Amino acid sequence: MSDRSTMPEASTIDRWGLNAMPAFVEVDNGNTVFRAAGGFNYRNSSVTVFDATKEDASLLVNEVLAFSSQHAIEPVLRVLGSPSTFEADLEALGWRPFRRCLVMTRPGTPTGNADDVADLPLEDWLDLQVRHKQISGKDEELFRQIFGNLSSAARPIVFARDNRPASALLHQEDGWLGLMNMLVDPEKRGMGLGKSFLNAILSLPSKGFWLQVFIENTPAIKLYESNGFTTAYPYCYWRQAR
C-alpha cells in the first residue's frame, strides 16, 4: 500500500507515461525527450520538457522545429507544470497552448472485485480498440504498428463481465499501475460499466495508480476523484499559432 507521502516525483511518473506509449524515434536529453511516431498521438510525437526553468525557449523551439521537420511530424511541445516565464516566452515566439491535461494519482488501496479484470492477448486488445475507436485505413495500420511494439510492462486487460464491454491498457513499472486507453463499447455507454470496470482495476495489487485526463473532461475527473484520485501535476501541449 502507498500513501500520499510516498508518491513518486512528477518527472518519474511522466517517464512512466512516455514508456507506456511506444515511439519509433526517441532522443532523451535528460530534461527533454524528443519523440516521433508518425504524428499519430501527441504523447509519442512531441517534445516533452520536464523542468522548463532549465530551458531557453527560443533555442528549444529551434530544436523542436528541426526535429519535427526531420521526422515529418507537427512541431509540438509538451510542458510539465505551469512555468509562467517559459509560457510567456513561448507566446512571444508565436506558440499557443492547445491541450491541457492532468496527471492524477491514487494510493494502492483495493476497493472492488479484481476477479472482474482479465488479461487479454495483445491482438484481441488491438481489435477491440480499433473497433471501439472506429479506426480504419492508414490510421489503423499506424495504430497497430505503434501498439504492436508495447513493452513487457504493458498489460492489456478486459472487463470480464457481460460479453467484455470494456477494455484498457495497464502499464506496470516500479510497482505502480498506469491506467491508459480505457474504453467502453459505444453501444453500452451510460450503463455505469466504466465506473464498475474502474473499481475492478483499482482492486489489483499495486503501490498505487496513475492516469492522464484532459482538463475539460469534467465527468471523468469527477469519477476519478470519487475513487480517491488527486491531481499530481498538470501538463500542456503547445504548437505554433495557426
The pLDDT of residue 112: 67
User: Which parts of the chain register pLDDT below 70?
Assistant: 1-5, 112
Residues ≥6 apart with Cβ < 8 Å to 166: 158, 159, 182, 183, 184, 185, 188, 193, 194, 197
Give the Cα separation of 96 and 237 in Å (integer). Answer: 8
pLDDT at 42: 94
Confidence at residue 1, expressed as pLDDT on a 0 to 100 scale:
46
Tally of CB atoms within 10 A around 159: 25
Rounded to 5 degrees, what are φ and ψ at 47? -115, 115
Domains along the chain? 4-102 (no CATH), 109-206 (3.40.630.30)
